[in-house]
Structure formats: C-alpha cells, structure tokens
Amino acid sequence: MRVLVTGGTGFIGSHTVVSLMEAGHEVVVLDNLSNSHRSVTRRIGEIVGTAPEFHQADIRDTERLADLASDGFDACMHFAALKAVGESVEDPLGYYENNVGGTISLLQVLLDAGVQNFVFSSSCTVYGEPLSLPLTEDMPIGTATNPYGWSKIMMEQVLRDVRVANPDWTVTLLRYFNPVGAHPSGLIGEDPMGVPSNLMPYVAKVAFGELPKVQVFGNDYDTHDGTGVRDYIHVVDLAEGHVAALDRHFDDPGTHIYNLGTGQGSSVLEIINAYELASGQPVPYEVVGRRAGDVGANWADASKAQQHLEWATKRDLAEMCADSWRWQQKAR
Ligand code: NAD
Ligand code: UFG
C-alpha cells in the first residue's frame, strides 16, 4: 500500500514508518518539523535500506496537501499533533487549531481525493479518571483535564461522524498507553526539546548525569507502592500494532477502536529500578507532591487488539529501558 504518514519524523511516527517499510509498504512522510528533525528520514534509510519520500509541510496547508494527495494514497496514518500537556493549558487555541483544526483540514483533503482509510493516534487519556481497571474499549469516554486531552476526545468524535457520513470509510482509532523506548539500532528515538515532562525520558537524563534527580510525583496513590502506575509499551511494539491494524482493517468500512498497551502496569519506582538495572547507573529520586491532572493508575485490557489484530507486545520493561538507554547515550 501507498501510505501517507503525517508526523512521520516524530517519535511514534518514525518507528511506524520503519515498520511499514519493513512490511513492504510505500511510505510518504509529511511533517512540518515543529518537533522533529529532517535527519530522521536519513536514519530511517540506514535502518531499512531506503529513506522514505519526505515533504516538509503543515497539515493545515490545504493546497500543498491536495497536490500531494492527487498522486493517490491507499491510506493515511495521522500522527501529526502537538502533545505537551502543560503547554496545551497555556496555549489552548494553538493546540485546538493545530490538532483539531489541522485534522479537519487534512480530512477534507482526503475526502476530496478519495482516500478512505484513516488510522488515528488517539490516547488512553480519552478514558479520563478510570471507572475500573483494566480499561476496555467499550468504556465511556471520560473528562479530560487539559486541552491536549480534549483535542483527542474531540478528534475521535469528528472521525466517528465523518465515517457515518461516508459509509465507505474505514477509521481506526488507536488508543496508545505510554509509549517508551527506542529503536534497538539506537538511530531513532524520542528527542524531547528542553527538560522532558514524561517519566522515562526524564529518568534517562538523570541516569546520564544531565539532570540531578527524578521528582516522583506522589507516593500516596492507591497503588501497590503508592506511586503512579502506567502501562508502558515499547514504541516498536506500538509501531507494529499500526501495521497490524492497517492490514486487518484495510477497506473494512466502520470505526474500529483498539487499546495499544501491554495490559500490565508499572509504578514510578519500578521504572526507576528497571532503568538503574538496564543502565548500570544510579537514578536518585525524591518524592514530591502529586502533579495536577494525573490519575493514580491506568492500564489497558489489550485483549481486543490481540484477538482481532493478531498482534501482541513482545518487548518487556527491561528491553524498553535498555533501548532507551542506548538511544540516550548516542551523541545526536
Ligand atoms: P512527536 O511530537 O514526536 O511527533 C509529532 C510530529 O508531528 C512531530 O514530528 C511534529 O513536527 C509533527 N507536527 C505537529 N504538528 C504538525 C502540523 N501541523 N503539520 C505537520 N506536522 C506536524 O509526538 P509523538 O509522541 O510521536 O506522538 C505522535 C502522535 O501520538 C500524536 O498525535 C500524539 O498526540 C499521539 N500520542 C502520543 C503519546 C505519547 O506519549 N508520546 C501518547 C498518546 C498519543
Ligand atoms: N512522573 C513522575 N515524575 C516525572 C514525570 C512523571 O513521577 O518527572 C509520573 C507521573 O506522575 C505518572 C507517571 O510518572 O504517574 C507517568 O507520567 P508521564 O508524564 O510519563 O505520562 P502520563 O501517563 O502522565 O502521560 C502520558 C502522555 C500524555 C497522555 C497521557 C495519557 O505523556 O500525553 O499519557 O495518554 F495524555
């Protein structure tokens, strides 16, 4: 298949481009490089043998997109979005404009061009405060605590409605849990600008000596050691989930929803311990107060994806930490 990948030089997009190309698909990457680097396509080329076609463009640039789409795509995987939760609170309009507005203008171009298969990067954030665990796809959508989260909830709704109005469309909503790790080659990974706000990239910098210690946000949650529990998933497993979803649901009209997680939760302290083991470096930490907007625990029921997509995660926490550490150590 010929697949348009928006946000394809970003963290999850780049790993998915590798998996798509390894599975024999032809990939066209579109990214405005607001949170990634041009060199990523060359690095993908080093991993798979050929670099993907690349266009530096914004999803809101309708003319440019229409021009690209006129060449014909079998499917679009849409990763492009702004994703910093704190920044979204400070700049809600910017976030809604880019994430919701951008998705709407992309969808219009695809509709006009007759591209009918759409895979969307959603998030477990749409569940809000969990009613019970593990989270299953049929649970009601919750209340987000920030504009980034709301933008995912809104886009899921937009996509459901677009699919109802266009019965030939196939929409697949993939709800990611916490993607971490990096490609085992050490050539691509997550490259957050400034001080990371997510746990594993932060821990990586502490192990590397770039930051003094991890702040553990709360140890009074109702979890086995009191610290926050999340379902961390290796980004390569996540990428393979996208290929499986595309294969399974290509030209399969409907809205298909999957959790992509391991089904297992790990606490903040477990992540710190696993990282110390993988890196051989100490990871000092201090417990501070809870972070506003955090839920205590969430993890996926991943059985729907396992059954329908014939996909399962293969990489454990030790491998997530080892691959993150390899990436952290490479000079970039
Ligand atoms: P990322 O920032 O690494 O990748 C996003 C890419 O989109 C970047 O390369 C950026 O330059 C590009 N982009 C942003 N706005 C654009 C625009 N208007 N036009 C063109 N390109 C644009 O983030 P990621 O972690 O790879 O996330 C990918 C997707 O997965 C996002 O939609 C994100 O919301 C979603 N998601 C991420 C996580 C996570 O923890 N990383 C969890 C759940 C969902
Ligand atoms: N944490 C710390 N210290 C830190 C960073 C995080 O203790 O310096 C804790 C958090 O409190 C939480 C856990 O580590 O318990 C994971 O936090 P992350 O920030 O890595 O991940 P979140 O689950 O909070 O958020 C992620 C994505 C969001 C997305 C959300 C739900 O970053 O974009 O999952 O999908 F909205």
pTM for the model stands at 0.98
pLDDT of residue 22: 98
The pLDDT mean for the chain works out to 97
Catalytic residue, candidates 95, 96, 127, 148: 148
Distance between CA atoms of 41 and 38, rounded to whole angstroms? 6
Q: Is 151 in the pocket of ligand 1 (CB under 6 A)?
A: no
CA 243 – CA 248 distance, rounded (Å): 9
**In this structure, what are the phi and psi dihedrals at residue 126, rounded to the nearest 5 degrees?**
-65, -20
Residues 123-139, mean pLDDT to the nearest whole number: 96
Mutational test site, ligand 2, from 11, 178, 202, 205, max ligand atoms within 8 Å of CB = 178
Each domain of the chain, given as residue ranges in start order, spans 2-180+232-261+299-314
Confidence of residue 192 (pLDDT cuts 50, 70, 90): confident
- Average pLDDT (202-230) is 97
pLDDT > 90 fraction of the chain, expressed in percent and rounded: 95
Q: How far is the CA of 81 from the centre of ligand 1 (A)?
A: 4
Evaluate: CB of 151 within 6 angstroms of ligand 2: no
Mutational test site, ligand 2, from 11, 216, 268, 324, max ligand atoms within 8 Å of CB = 268
Given a cut of 70, is residue 257 above it in pLDDT? yes
Q: Which residues contact 210 (CB under 8 A, 6 or more apart)?
A: none
Looking at all shown ligands, the one closest to residue 78's CA atom is 1
Looking at the CA of 214, name the nearest ligand: 2
Taking residue 207's Cβ as centre, other Cβ atoms within 10 Å add up to 25
Q: In this structure, which residue's CA is closest to atom 26 in ligand 2?
A: 178
Please tell me if the CB atom of residue 199 comes closer than 6 angstroms to any atom of ligand 2. Answer: yes
Q: List pLDDT tens digits, range 138-170.
A: 999 999 999 999 999 999 999 999 999 999 999
Q: Is the pLDDT of residue 331 over 70?
A: no
Note the pLDDT of residue 19.
98
State mean pLDDT over 318-330. Answer: 96
Ligand 2 mean position to 243 CA, how many Å? 26
Closest ligand to the CA of 199: 2
Mean pLDDT of 324-331: 90
Average pLDDT over residues 99-110: 98
Contact 52, 17 (CB under 8 A): yes
**What ligand 2 atom has the least distance to the C-alpha of 295?**
15
Give the residue ranges of DSSP H helices in the chain: 11-22, 39-48, 62-69, 85-90, 92-95, 102-113, 147-165, 199-208, 235-249, 268-279, 303-309, 317-329
pLDDT at 193: 79
Whether the CB of 83 sits within 6 Å of ligand 2: yes
Mean pLDDT on 128-143: 95
pLDDT above 90 (res 83): yes
Residues 6+ positions from 232 with CB-CB distance below 8 Å: 177, 178, 179, 180, 200, 262, 266, 271, 317, 320
Q: How far is the CA of 143 from the centre of ligand 2 (A)?
A: 17
Active-site residue, 148 included: yes
pLDDT in tens, 93-103: 999 999 999 99
CB 213 within 8 A of CB 286: yes
Q: Is the dihedral of CA 70, 74, 78, 80 positive or negative?
A: negative
The CATH number, out of the four listed (3.90.228.20, 3.20.80.10, 3.40.50.300, 3.40.50.720), of the domain defined by the range 2-180+232-261+299-314 = 3.40.50.720
Task: Give the residue, 96 or 71, on which the prediction is more confident.
Answer: 96
DSSP for 237-252, written as a single string: HHHHHHHHHHHHHTT-
Give residue-wise pLDDT tens across range 270-318: 999 999 999 999 999 999 999 998 999 999 999 999 999 999 999 999 9
Checking if the pLDDT of 171 tops 90, the result is: yes
The pLDDT score that the predictor gives to residue 77 is 98
**55: which strand partners?**
30
In 181-261, alpha helices (H): 199-208, 235-249
Question: What is the C-alpha to C-alpha distance for residues 35 and 2, in angstroms, rounded to an integer?
Answer: 25
Comparing 43-57, 102-116, 191-205, the range with the smallest average pLDDT is: 191-205
3-state secondary structure of 224: coil
> What is the distance in A from the centroid of ligand 1 to the CA of 7?
6
* Ligand 1 pocket residue status of 7, Cβ below 6 Å: yes
Question: Tokens in use for 230?
Answer: 């999340």
The pLDDT score that the predictor gives to residue 332 is 59
Residue from 217, 219, 295 to probe ligand 2 pocket by mutation (most atoms less than 8 Å from CB): 217
Output the residue whose Cα is nearest ligand 2's atom 32: 198
Q: Which helix (H) or strand (E) covers residue 27, if one does?
A: strand 26-31
